[in-house]
Structure 1
């Protein structure tokens, strides 16, 4: 049975077990402030619901089907649910411009909902990925400027408040996710839904060919047969300080959210670092959310998001205890255990610095100097292996064969005498230089088992010398080395006694991230490639190291 069918079957079974039969009114027209109508479906539980539960607003660019929105299951639990297609999608008027119209359309929708006869008195928002972004787009702004119409609770899964930050990750274009999502969105409608489901089950040949196209600005034509407007915009705006990106970022308004928040995510989700940073923003504002982090990626059948959202909302609005012993519930990879924690990262976490040695050793002792070199060839880019992404197959991957490549280097600790638990966001501090005008530094942590398997834990990337990274580039020293901080994905992982910690350093993970041609030209138009000699320094006042947040 396919993942999509399993998910749909699970939702239908949940709906059958639900206490309320459901009536659906389809094709409601919701007027926007500019005169455009957006189409919505309304799910109504039949029979009195006491005490009244909130009206749930879900805004989606993927259609209004119950298997993608959870609307039937939510309504079956007593929630009135409005599922609306975003502008330019699912029969709604206007043109779909990802992210750009969600704040104004979302605010108009919330005001409209509160004027309807079926409105239950409070509003909750719900959804994952882009459906979560539509929640961030309105929540902080309305809590600050229009509290009478603001949402009363948010349920957010595998999402973030600023999609620009993941599109250009530390100056590097997230090619696989950006081009893959653009291809799928170009196949909208019923045929598109079937095509999307089919592509999710098998390799996408067109996409596999398109990610190798240079310049990058020709990739959308290669994959879809025509230019895709937003994809061209993403490439043309390489700097996240451009107005194009800042006006669709809602990170600054996160602390303005006064409504209770539940969020779920996975250790292998592409949005994980930014979702945990929004969690930290709310904690700093004195409004810590309820948080679940599990052993999954962006798309999964394992997430308890639906069940935990229902419990969260019923606890807040109906006084039904959720039975949750702690605010944070996190899965410890490497030990395969769920832990209930008071906060994330857990109290008692401290940074431990491990140095990269010329000999290939990873050790807390300072290195004796020297350098480690490797060659990066953008015409034969270092391939991506696992890591976070949009697909359903995210998770730990054995890197033992990958680590024998000559375009990366590996540093390994001795076998651990005692278990080490990583709990937080590691930061690699690499003293680095390149013969190319621009270069990427990709760092990955692996758990090396006694049998030789080197299983991926987390990774991260950063560019120097690129258009988008120039503002944050460190200044090189007289010897040409820069001291570069590379943040890695957050992790909660136990390295067992007898295992070793490995740190890989390379200059790419293609096509998850677009290859760096090396010239420093704009990413959208660059076609010339430069073979580069890369060097990691183990010398100086700040030799290359990695800071590991260790839970004791």
Structure 2
């Protein structure tokens, strides 16, 4: 093992390496069904090792290149721990043919072509595991339902069986993720791509402010980017995505699955839907949810652990060590706990009502006037912390700066006399009225500590077409969190979180082409007839 490998083992708290030397074979050529050539690298324990001739293969298909940090993390670290590692560049990226990269296109056919090629290699021992995060996880799901018998396990990490569709609910686009990923994939093969990305960050920020949104890629990149245009013009319900959405096939997957998710990950809600689909089909999936956001090294460490200690034994025909099916990091008390299912049994829904005087309590309010605020898309309520594609600014942060704004309402409980343990699905029911035909509702749950620091726990945003006083249901992302004695529970209510979500301009025009912003005045009702509340699963 190299010095850098030893450092990675210590920093990421990985299982110990079993091979001292690793070899890499570059630019292997794999023919896709349509004749396009895909390039791959194979990492393996040094070829003079007798043990290297009978090791399973970890397959990683990626649009991000086979060298650099990713090649080192997935290639070297897994090879040092008992795998051949085949890293394949998806078509249109880093030497693989097929023209310009078109995200999610032809991944299923290419994945099966790679598996057929792999089966014919003299070093392949007949067992393969699928592993990788985000897009690399999506490339697992696309082949999973009809995977050949050689596939013994899969470890999808912070990902979804429908990937980009996660961000494209009708009338609501997760703009920050869409723009940043579009720019990343469009520029990643340029010289000094990382340095240029830092220098051009302001251009990307200007692009997210651009109206109409359909012109955002031109501002950021100087040209249209196909993936960005696909997403701007086609929401997740559009038949346009029928060949790229594999969520309907999850229940057909017979390969053992161990999903690694994060409480602050952009794919959490969809990853739990995939888990539920497997459970409903009678499969026994494993689920791990940690306290991390999308790009957190702790999640990478958990995925490597699971690939080595769970998928590895399955690939060798052995039985992995026992662990409960669901393993959750409980925030607030910083504990890992194991459960038989998700959501865990024994947690009952408890209503915490928005009350007069910006209070939050378990008893509904009597008749009181609604709380009012104004949302101006020209000065949008900013997003802070939470689920982000990039690590910078993601996860739990102090929300006091945004809570001081006049377009953010907060409702806060009394100081808690006892711990309040919340594990499971979180929802809100909010009664509102607006003076525009369209608005957004953003609801966030926060933990206020003894010093007044307000830290975000979970949240979500929905588009609303109000007709008089409307009851709006919001499914916040799930959580596992203990509000400690002496802390307070807080609920934020606002009409946006930009640039995480594209601004609602107030006129219910198509998201891609709307260009004129309108100020929206909103009222939040919290009286006996309109008992706005957050619904917490409490033990």
TM-score, normalised on structure 1? 0.89
Aligned residue in 2 for 1:218? 215
For residue 8 of structure 2, give the secondary structure of its aligned residue in structure 1. Answer: helix
Matched, 1:342 2:344: no
- TM-fit CA distance, 1:277: 1.8
Confirm or deny: 8 A CA contact 1:184 1:196 kept in the other structure.
Answer: no
Q: Trace 1:114-133 onto structure 2 (pairs within 5 A).
A: 114-133=119-138
Aligned residue in 2 for 1:471? none
- 474, 484, 506: which one aligns with 1:518: 506
For residue 292 of structure 2, give the secondary structure of its aligned residue in structure 1. Answer: coil
Confirm or deny: 8 A CA contact 2:19 2:81 kept in the other structure.
Answer: yes
Task: Select between 345-354 and 520-529 the one with higher mean Cα deviation.
Answer: 345-354
Confirm or deny: 8 A CA contact 1:20 1:77 kept in the other structure.
Answer: no
Q: Residue deviations 1:133-192, cap 9 Å, x none? A: 11111112x14xxx446x32101111111124322246311111111111111112262x
Task: Select between 365-374 and 411-420 the one with higher mean Cα deviation.
Answer: 365-374
May I ask how many residue pairs the two structures share in their alignment?
526
Q: Trace 1:50-449 onto structure 2 (pairs within 5 A).
A: 52-65=54-67, 67-69=69-71, 70-95=74-99, 96-140=101-145, 142-143=146-147, 147-148=148-149, 151-169=151-169, 171-189=171-189, 191=191, 194-196=192-194, 199=197, 204-237=201-234, 239-303=235-299, 304-318=302-316, 322-369=320-367, 370-393=369-392, 394-449=394-449
Task: Select between 335-344 and 489-498 the one with higher mean Cα deviation.
Answer: 335-344
> What CA RMSD, in Å, does the superposition of the two structures yield over aligned residues?
2.5
For residue 273 of structure 1, give the secondary structure of its aligned residue in structure 2. Answer: helix
Question: How many Å separate the matches in 2 of 1:53 and 1:283?
Answer: 31
Task: Select between 298-307 and 248-257 the one with higher mean Cα deviation.
Answer: 298-307
Task: Select between 49-58 and 426-435 the one with higher mean Cα deviation.
Answer: 49-58
Aligned residue in 2 for 1:39? 39
Q: Residue deviations 1:448-494, cap 9 Å, x none? A: 112211111111000124xxxxxxxxx84xxx122211111111111
For residue 172 of structure 1, give the secondary structure of its aligned residue in structure 2. Answer: coil
Confirm or deny: 8 A CA contact 1:434 1:535 kept in the other structure.
Answer: yes
Q: Deviating runs (4+, > 6 A) in structure 1?
A: 5-8, 11-16
Confirm or deny: 8 A CA contact 1:52 1:318 kept in the other structure.
Answer: no
Question: How many Å separate the matches in 1 of 2:26 and 2:287?
Answer: 33
Q: Residue deviations 1:328-385, cap 9 Å, x none? A: 2221111122222222222212211122123322122122234221110011100111
Aligned CA distance change for structure 1 residues 196 and 276 (closer, same or farther; 3 Å): farther
Task: Select between 110-119 and 488-497 the one with higher mean Cα deviation.
Answer: 110-119
- TM-fit CA distance, 1:8: 11
Question: How many Å separate the matches in 1 of 2:222 and 2:174?
Answer: 21
Q: Trace 1:530-545 onto structure 2 (pairs within 5 A).
A: 530-539=518-527, 543-545=531-533
Task: Select between 51-60 and 453-462 the one with higher mean Cα deviation.
Answer: 51-60
Confirm or deny: 8 A CA contact 2:171 2:511 kept in the other structure.
Answer: no
Question: How many Å separate the matches in 1 of 2:44 and 2:17?
Answer: 16
For residue 504 of structure 2, give the secondary structure of its aligned residue in structure 1. Answer: coil
TM-score, normalised on structure 2? 0.92
Confirm or deny: 8 A CA contact 1:15 1:72 kept in the other structure.
Answer: no
Question: How many Å separate the matches in 2 of 1:514 and 1:399?
Answer: 20
Confirm or deny: 8 A CA contact 1:15 1:76 kept in the other structure.
Answer: no
Question: How many Å separate the matches in 2 of 1:203 and 1:310?
Answer: 39
For structure 2, which runs of at least 5 residues remain unmatched after alignment? none
Confirm or deny: 8 A CA contact 1:157 1:263 kept in the other structure.
Answer: yes
Question: How many Å separate the matches in 2 of 1:228 and 1:9?
Answer: 39
Q: Residue deviations 1:266-310, cap 9 Å, x none? A: 111111111122112212222232222112111122232212211
Confirm or deny: 8 A CA contact 1:439 1:516 kept in the other structure.
Answer: yes
- TM-fit CA distance, 1:9: 5.8
Question: How many Å separate the matches in 2 of 1:24 and 1:221?
Answer: 39
Question: How many Å separate the matches in 2 of 1:12 and 1:35?
Answer: 43
Aligned CA distance change for structure 1 residues 189 and 6 (closer, same or farther; 3 Å): farther
Confirm or deny: 8 A CA contact 1:7 1:67 kept in the other structure.
Answer: no
Aligned CA distance change for structure 1 residues 198 and 261 (closer, same or farther; 3 Å): farther
Question: How many Å separate the matches in 1 of 2:317 and 2:122?
Answer: 25
